[in-house]
Amino acid sequence: MIPLGILLLFAALMNSKIAYAQLPVFTQFSQNQLNINPAFAGFIDDDFKFNALYRSQSYSRLVTSTFSNASFQMRPLFDFVPNNDVFGFGVNAYTHKTLDVYSHQAMSATMSYSKGLNYDGSKTLAFGFQGRYNSKRIDYTQLLFPNQFEFNGYTPQLPNNEPIQVINANFIDLNSGILYNSVGENESFSAGFSMYNINQSSQDPLKLATRDGLTFNYQIGYLKVLSDYSQVFFGGLHSVRATQSSTSLVGAIQILPDYDNYIGFDVGGVYVLNNSVSPFVNLNMNMLKASFTYNFSIAPNISYVQNANAFEVGLQILFSRPSEDNTLAKRHMSCFK
């Protein structure tokens, strides 16, 4: 008989794709740029950007996992770098908890430099580097094991016979990435590649059990402006770790009834191959963006995961110095901005 705690833990991990996807996991990966490519630091039309995301997963109405992420990006030294170049800096905080068994907190600092490839800066190539401090804890004493049940029911005083009760791990990850971006009058294209956990090469079984292995992320996005009041976006993210992988595809349409003040909404969806379908809506209010996503699990051959769903909410705040080009800069909705 499989212990209930282990069953719920496994269901939560399967639904969140922790075993084989980018970390941390959010369906709207495009709102979580610093966790998929350090080169995204500074990839903003504004001078400052604050982004926050919260995700809650449940299995049969029991909340099994929660994820929180907050990031801040800026473009310092704006008046000192060459024209068409951008120096970007970002900080990122992340926390994840599954039941009372697993927890992970992380804090990172990211720097990037974007180089204009032509005279007007419409084509750029950016390089990014990130250092991330991680703290993980796995507490097996919070799981229920059959040998802890007696005639009167569960008794936590009985030993669970696990050789290790609590695992604490603190370590630093080194991450890097490259990003190409091309912007035209009515369309834009971006493509990037990143490597996370570059320094995690230890063969120690205990370290391998608690640390994240070397991960490769590939991302691509394309936007087409349909009119002054609408545009469409398509994008994708493919993550590979060891012999496992995860692929997410996203599509969205943006409607701007009030183009001059950049007020409108985005409607779209994310499909994670063989895992989930997630419709979402973003409300754009000039310097503010609010987002909501609901995650429907469709993992094949794992019937109990069908009862495991999740929702995400997000908030984005943008700050810009006054500029006559501000509205034009925001014209391209790029899913990664």
Could you report the per-residue pLDDT of 93-121, keeping only the tens digit for each? 999 888 778 889 999 999 999 999 988 88
Higher pLDDT, 32 or 329: 32
Would you call 209 helix, strand, or coil by DSSP?
A: helix
The CA–CA distances, whole Å, from 228 to 186, 222, 225, 325, 330 equal 10, 17, 8, 15, 12
Query: Tens digit of pLDDT for each residue in 317-332?
Result: 888 755 544 444 444 4
Determine the pLDDT at residue 19: 36
For residue 235, give the nearest of 248, 217, 246 by alpha carbon: 248
Residue 221: which of 333, 328, 86 has the closest Cα?
333
In single-letter form, the type of residue at position 12 comes to A
Q: Within 10 A of 124 (CB to CB), how many other CB atoms are there?
A: 20
Q: Which is more confident, 318 or 16?
A: 318
At residue 286, the pLDDT reads 79
**Which residue, chain included where needed, has tokens 């609901």?**
294
Reported as a single tens digit per residue, the pLDDT across 294-315 is 988 886 555 455 566 888 999 8
For residue 9, pLDDT beyond 50: no
Q: Identify the top-confidence range among 197-206, 258-267, 308-317.
A: 308-317
Q: Average pLDDT of 250-268?
A: 85
What is the per-residue pLDDT for 201?
A: 64
Round to whole Å and give the CA distance between 311 and 316. 17
Predicted confidence band of residue 214 (pLDDT cuts 50, 70, 90): confident
- Percent of the chain, pLDDT > 70? 72
In the prediction, which pLDDT does 126 show? Answer: 95
The pLDDT value recorded for residue 147 is: 56
- Rounded Cα distance between 2 and 140, Å, is 15
pLDDT on residue 2: 40
The counts of H helices and E strands in the chain are 3, 16
Q: How far apart are the first and last CA of the chain?
A: 48
pLDDT of residue 208: 62
What integer is the mean pLDDT of 50-55?
91
Relative to beta strand 86-98, strand 153-154 is unpaired
Q: What is the pLDDT of residue 152?
A: 59
| Backbone φ and ψ of 2, nearest 5° | -80, 125
Give the whole-number percent of the chain exceeding pLDDT 90.
28
SS3 35: helix
In the chain, what are the domains? 4-329 (2.40.160.40)
Paired strand residues for 104: 96, 136
Give 88's pLDDT tier (boundaries 50, 70, 90).
Answer: very high
Is the pTM here over 0.85, yes or no? no
Q: Which residue has the higher pLDDT, 302 or 199?
A: 199
Winning range, highest mean pLDDT, from 137-141, 246-250, 304-308:
246-250
**Model confidence at 42: pLDDT above 50:** yes
